[in-house]
Chains A and B, each alone.
Chain A
Amino acid sequence: MRKNLNVIAAYSIMMVLILLVGIFQSWNIALSIFNLCLISAVMTMGANIQWGYAGLINFGIMGYTALGGLAAVLISVDPVQEAWRAGGFDILMALWLIVVMVLVIRFILKRFEKSKIRTYSIAAIIISGILLIRFSAEPGIEAIEAVDPAKTGFLGGFGLPIVFSWIVGALFAGGLAFIVGKVALGLRADYLAIATLLISEIVIAIIKHEDWLTRGVKNVIGLKRPAPYEVDLQTTDWFIKLVEKFNSGKLSVIENLADRQAALNQLVIEGSSVFVKLCYSGLFLVVVIILLILTQKALYSPWGRMMRAIRDNEEAANAMGKNVVKQHLLIFILGSAIVGIAGAMLVTQDGLFTPGSYRPMRYTFLIWVMVIVGGSGNNFGAILGGFVVWFLWIEAAPISLFLINFFTAGIPETNALKAHLIESVPYFRFLLMGLGLLFIMRYRPKGILPEKIEIK
């Protein structure tokens, strides 16, 4: 108990902060911060597995998040029959061509020795394959995109409950990580960072512009939900009774019956959105706890010790007979898969998929700030980082507004500098994040909750 005191203290402070937001701002804001904190926590766990356990730098988190989101769309949206009839065959043809291409390349790689001719022939196969696919799939794609473009214009998905997509998102992200890992993991640390960053940009470019699959920048809205809809809740008897019971003290003060009914209606409307958010919180908490248990177990298992050994001294671990390349690939896939889960969760919560909103600032660098600030190598630290940084990211604007008003209290409202500062309040969050990262890296390089190696 005693040695975990700082962990408990840090989490209690965090919870109190969120509760304070609930009391002073609104429970709706508090819960939406809390939910996104949970999602961020899942992302940081993924990044922490890669960076903290194995020392692999992955600046492609954005790409895996987006793939998770794509999984949510492909799983939950109902299939668009008309689009399948219009161009489904062409798309399947193109997919089949890709499979053939990959098989041919694999065959060549296995069958022939490494030589210039082999490299050139593989390049020729890839280029001609891409051209072939492009020209054969073009009519199909155009036909699909022409099917009621204002509403669909894409193939749709499988029409399954959206929660399945959390697993599928992990598979998608893991699959991409397998390819990226095969290609890029041999690179030096800073090259790997740049390569993963650029690959994630390629992924986003594809998701943004392949409208037949994702609707691209036209966005997919109104996804299915695992939680009830607010509108339904507001007309359900048991829910209204529940709200009445919760607020009986407040309601009994009001004498007039009509006024009381109006107040109750207002409370029901507020309560319904809080209730929906609570449902999400419950679901997300389950995911976070399961992942936390698994990652903790892994960290203290022989496998975890091996990963730390590889991280701290690759050559020595290699000399002891550990397959460094294979383990790096494995952990790269695992970490990315967890990020994929988070991506699917995020889209599930929002109920919409907006490829245009995936930007490296928010989905890659911010997650890295979370991992570094929280404490890499320590799962509790990484989760805490997700909570602290997301909380500050949201609350930075109100805090800095307060500070500006406080320090410029003597200056009249019409002062140009003061007006300009107040206008640019939203950008203080970048300043806060940057300074936070710099201070933590300088004075507490292991993060708020540093890594502890327990030998049991």
Chain B
Amino acid sequence: MDFVNAIILLLNYIFIPALTYGSQLALGAIFVTLIYGILRFANFATGDMMSFGTMATILFTWYFQSLGVSLGVLPTALLAIPFGIIFMILYMLLIDKFVFKYYRHQKSPPVQFAMVSIGVMFVTQAVVRIIIGPADRRFFDGEKFIIKAREFKEMTGLNEGLALKSTQVITIFVTIVLVSLLFWFLNRTKTGKSMKAYSDNEDLALLSGIDPKKIVLVTWVIAGILATIGGALYGLDKSFKPFTYFNNMLPIFAAAIVGGIGNPFGAFLGGYVIAFSEILLTYAYKKFFMYVLPASMEPEGLVQLLSTDYKFAVSFSILVIVLLYRPSGIFKGKVL
């Protein structure tokens, strides 16, 4: 019985939260990696673009709520996400037309692109803050829990409860669907394959008649979908605050690089690597050992490897180690 309790404990405090957080990071990391692989620059405006998409989603959510439209037990935001995506894509295409296109035609070095993306980052931050303000916002409605901890305890008679938030299930489900669609698109359709070719060798791709304008357009459209959904899911699960989104850029970068930048599948797994190592290394295992070990061997301290203050530092340290030993990432393989 104690053993089952220990498993439930780990599921409740480590596995499910890490899977949710990892999914949110994974979507962002694929976004980073696509931009890096096809448009060839490190996009420092990642976090802020995600916050722009989330902001659009929130505004539509409020609009639907004021109309009285709702999805019942599901959050209204799910209905608003498609509209948010449209605004996100329009914003990205606008930015691309007025900012990035020029440097693409100039064939500027990646560093210059990175600098320009910092300019975009400042502008996007300003736009988001001017429109919706810097405050912390929750826009979740509908049923909060699928299984409540107390109900679970009563149902099974165990000591440990297992809480399952609906946002967690939605996040994991949406991520699986979206990522499988994306990989189907990249590997099976003609456009996806031409994107792959463009990323592998630009000149060769152009010679074989691939239209670069179309590739760039499709890339931004996919990026917009990923950014908005990733951002909105994070906001639903936790809360929306522009500054947090800017900070989330860092673990997202870490995930993309750990997975091998330019490689979407690597980025997808990288998100989970980062999330799991952050949570595994900062969780206090005292209770777990109390269940597993006999009473005489119970640990005295919290059995915590690192204090939770160093959560971010964990992912960055992993990144630094990966950069040192395998600069091409854990999951090498072919690019895109």
A193 vs B310: C-alpha distance in the bound complex, in angstroms? 21
Which of under 10, 10 to 19, 20 to 34, or 35 or more describes the interface residues of A? 35 or more
A198 & B316 in contact (Cβ 8 Å cutoff): yes
A205 & B118 in contact (Cβ 8 Å cutoff): no
A433 & B130 in contact (Cβ 8 Å cutoff): no
A398 within 8 A of B: no
B312 & A205 in contact (Cβ 8 Å cutoff): yes
CB distance from A18 to the nearest CB of B (A): 24
CB neighbours of B257 from chain A (8 A): 191, 194
A424 vs B325: C-alpha distance in the bound complex, in angstroms? 46
Partner of A191, one of B250, B309, B310, B323: B323
B110 within 8 A of A: yes
The 0/1 profile, CB within 8 Å of A marked 1, for residues 110-127 of chain B is 111011101111111111
A427 & B312 in contact (Cβ 8 Å cutoff): no
CB neighbours of A433 from chain B (8 A): 122
B250 & A365 in contact (Cβ 8 Å cutoff): no
Partner of A201, one of B119, B122, B129, B316: B316
B253 within 8 A of A: yes
B111 & A189 in contact (Cβ 8 Å cutoff): yes
Partner of B129, one of A199, A430, A441: A430
Among B110, B111, B118, B310, the most chain A Cβ lie within 10 Å of the Cβ of B118
> A205-B310, A206-B313, A430-B123 given as contacts; is B111 within 8 A of A183 (CB)?
no
Partner of A441, one of B115, B121, B133, B246: B115
Which residues 208-243 in B have Cβ within 8 Å of A in the complex?
Answer: none
CB distance from B282 to the nearest CB of A (A): 12
Partner of A365, one of B111, B118, B124: B118
The 0/1 profile, CB within 8 Å of B marked 1, for residues 424-456 of chain A is 100111111111011001100100000000000
B41 within 8 A of A: yes
A8 within 8 A of B: no
Which residues 298-329 in A have Cβ within 8 Å of B in the complex?
Answer: none
A187 & B323 in contact (Cβ 8 Å cutoff): yes
A184 vs B316: C-alpha distance in the bound complex, in angstroms? 13
Which residues 59-116 in B have Cβ within 8 Å of A in the complex?
Answer: 99, 102, 109-112, 114-116
A195 & B323 in contact (Cβ 8 Å cutoff): yes
B317 & A202 in contact (Cβ 8 Å cutoff): yes
Partner of B122, one of A119, A190, A198, A431: A431
A250 within 8 A of B: no
A445 vs B103: C-alpha distance in the bound complex, in angstroms? 11
The 0/1 profile, CB within 8 Å of B marked 1, for residues 197-220 of chain A is 111011001101100000000000
Partner of B119, one of A57, A202, A361, A441: A441
The 0/1 profile, CB within 8 Å of A marked 1, for residues 278-314 of chain B is 0000000000000000000000000000010110110
A435 & B123 in contact (Cβ 8 Å cutoff): yes
CB neighbours of A163 from chain B (8 A): none
A431 & B323 in contact (Cβ 8 Å cutoff): no
A183 & B126 in contact (Cβ 8 Å cutoff): no
B49 within 8 A of A: no
CB neighbours of A205 from chain B (8 A): 309-310, 312-313
A432 vs B254: C-alpha distance in the bound complex, in angstroms? 29
A183 & B324 in contact (Cβ 8 Å cutoff): yes
Among B102, B121, B122, the most chain A Cβ lie within 10 Å of the Cβ of B122
A432 vs B257: C-alpha distance in the bound complex, in angstroms? 31
> A195-B319, A198-B319, A427-B129 given as contacts; is B312 within 8 A of A434 (CB)?
no
CB neighbours of A428 from chain B (8 A): 126, 130
The 0/1 profile, CB within 8 Å of B marked 1, for residues 397-410 of chain A is 00000000000000
- Where chain A touches its partner, the secondary structure class is helix
A369 within 8 A of B: yes
CB distance from B322 to the nearest CB of A (A): 10
A368 within 8 A of B: yes
Which residues 258-287 in A have Cβ within 8 Å of B in the complex?
Answer: none
A435 vs B316: C-alpha distance in the bound complex, in angstroms? 30
B134 within 8 A of A: yes
B110 & A430 in contact (Cβ 8 Å cutoff): no
B129 & A194 in contact (Cβ 8 Å cutoff): no
CB neighbours of B122 from chain A (8 A): 365, 369, 430-431, 433-434, 437
CB distance from A51 to the nearest CB of B (A): 9
| A51 nearest in chain B by CB position | B111
| A440 nearest in chain B by CB position | B119
CB neighbours of B253 from chain A (8 A): 194, 197-198
Among B125, B257, B325, the most chain A Cβ lie within 10 Å of the Cβ of B125
| B251 nearest in chain A by CB position | A198
CB neighbours of A365 from chain B (8 A): 118, 121-122
CB neighbours of A361 from chain B (8 A): 125, 246
B123 & A431 in contact (Cβ 8 Å cutoff): yes
19 A-B residue contacts at CB 8 Å?
A: A193-B42, A193-B111, A194-B319, A198-B254, A202-B317, A205-B309, A205-B313, A206-B313, A209-B310, A361-B125, A368-B118, A424-B133, A430-B123, A431-B122, A431-B123, A432-B126, A434-B119, A434-B124, A438-B119
Beyond contacts A187-B323, A365-B118, A427-B134: 10 other A-B pairs, Cβ-Cβ < 8 A, are A57-B111, A189-B111, A197-B250, A209-B310, A423-B133, A427-B125, A428-B126, A429-B126, A437-B119, A441-B116
| Nearest 8 A/B pairs, CB to CB | A434-B122, A434-B123, A431-B126, A430-B126, A437-B119, A427-B129, A198-B316, A209-B309
Residues of chain B whose beta carbon lies under 8 Å from any beta carbon of chain A:
41-42, 99, 102, 109-112, 114-116, 118-127, 129-130, 133-134, 246, 250, 253-254, 257, 307, 309-310, 312-313, 316-317, 319-320, 323-325, 327
